[in-house]
Structure 1
Amino acid sequence: MIENEDQARAWVEALPECDPSMIARFERFEALLRDENDRQNLVSAKSLDHTWSRHFADSLQLLQDVPRETSDWLDLGTGAGFPGIAIAIARPDQETVCVESRALRTKFLDYIVDELELTQCRILHCRLQDVETRPFDAVSARAFAPLPKLLELSSRFSTRDTLWRLPKGRSAARELENLRGWDHMFHVEQSLTDADSGIICGTLAGRKKGKRA
């Protein structure tokens, strides 16, 4: 379990993706996040003292068991950049598509992408319902919507092989237990950054025949 900033940074530095340019990008991201948070409420002010654990490591743990050969990643409701921008920093050669409907936040995300030279990262300023349907190798969403609604909105981006990574906090086990109408291979993994939080992981085959979510 990652319990403090030193442990979080050490964990990030131990990732196979990590190199000096990645750390430099995260340090710049942290500075820009702090500066922008004075203008718009991107994250809680308290969490800025724990950026490496609460935001960076918390996002990057989603990379566990996701092959580095993964070609594209869809992040829903990216907000302040988590986990989408963090994923794009760790895997800059992978296409990362971040969907965010709020104009001020997408303006900030566009600035981050330009500033950090994340050439394979795209920010879509729109509602998820308006995103063109296409399959992705991986899909993530942090605090986006309850699981049934999330799948209702986003299953069209998934194949049977798409890897789902859905941080759900304390509700992870309950949401998965109560899920009905979907043919899936989901399970809950313990978060590395919060003892009370879980991440719904796995694959989705689609709706069960004759069922609704």
Structure 2
Amino acid sequence: MISNEDDARAFVAARGDDSALERIEALIAALREENQRQNLVSSGSLDHVWQRHIADSAQLLDHVPRETSPWMDLGSGAGFPGLVIAAIRPDSRILLVESRKRRIEWLESMIDRLALANCTVAGMRLEAVAAFEARVITARAFAPLEKLLRLSARFSTDDTVWLLPKGRSAGVELQGIGKKWQKLFHVEQTATDPEAAILVGKGTVKGKSAA
């Protein structure tokens, strides 16, 4: 379990090269500056930014092979986990879905600043995004689980991996969906918070969630 900023930075460093760390450092610096203009993340979390936001995002990489692509990050907001994944894995295509104007501007500015040619923003509601086959779907704080799955079902295939950090509510949310979808998922402990979990799944969720 990661318990401090040094551990968190080392955790991230083990999953990327020096260039990736330089991009992450630049992202953190820009986040601190931008957070004074708009509330991208809670100000208190910036004191533990490597643990709370960077390592918390980077740990999702451990659940899929390196070459897995494309990723789809729902409700990217400040860029977690999507921007972090893109910064560490420049060989993977990442689509950030975000509908809020100022968040879209922030994400696009960071893609330019970090020269992330592998990363693009769909600046619209998820319902308006053209369907494609996503190999990985992530969402850190997008919607309750059943709604999230229903809205993103058309992007899923039998090979899609779902990586959904759900904090303390993971188990409860999983029990709240139909058995047909439940069997695709399991709960895994996060590396950054002893009370938080990730819902990890594989497969398509097309159709109804009822058993």
TM-score (norm 2): 0.96
Distance 2:186 2:131 in 1: 26
Q: Which residue of 1 aligns with 2:119?
A: 121
Alignment of 1:10-89 (within 5 A): 10-15=10-15, 18-89=16-87
Residue 174 (structure 2) aligns with = 176
For residue 99 of structure 2, what is the amino acid of its counterpart? S
What CA distance in whole angstroms lies between the structure 1 residues aligned with 2:201 and 2:140?
A: 15
Provide the rounded CA distance (Å) in 2 between the counterparts of 1:88 and 1:107. Answer: 17
1:200 aligns with 2:191: no
3-state SS in 1 of match to 2:204: strand
Work out the number of aligned pairs and report it.
210
Whether contact under 8 Å (1:181, 1:207) holds in the other structure is: no
Q: Which runs of 5+ in 1 are unaligned?
A: none
**Structure 2, unaligned runs of 5 or more:** none
Note the C-alpha offset of 1:143.
1.2
Q: Which residue number in structure 1 is paired with residue 185 of structure 2?
A: 186
Matching residue's letter, 1:52: W
The Cα shift of 1:212 comes to 5.1
State the alpha-carbon separation in 1 of the partners of residues 209 and 137 from structure 2: 23
Change (3 A) 1:211 1:100: closer
Per the normalisation by structure 1, the TM-score is 0.95
Q: SS where residue 206 of structure 1 aligns?
A: coil
Name the structure with the higher strand share: 1
Task: Report % sequence identity.
Answer: 52
C-alpha deviation, 1:19, in angstroms: 0.9
Tell me the C-alpha RMSD between the 2 structures: 1.4
Q: How big is the shift at 1:177? A: 1.6
Hey, what's the Cα distance between the residues in 2 that align with 1:61 and 1:9? 12
Contact 2:52/2:192 (CA < 8 Å) preserved in 1? yes
In the TM superposition, what is the alpha-carbon distance from 1:174 to its structure 2 partner?
Answer: 0.8
CA deviations over 1:146-174 (Å, ceiling 9, x no partner) = 11000110011100110000000000011
Residue aligning to 1:8: 8
Structure 1 runs (4+) deviating above 2 angstroms are 181-184, 204-208, 210-213
Partner of 2:153 in structure 1?
155
Q: Does the 8 Å contact 2:177/2:210 carry over to 1?
A: no
Q: CA deviation at 1:80?
A: 0.2
Residue identity in the other structure for 1:100: E
**1:2 alignment partner AA:** I
The letter of the residue matching 1:13 is A
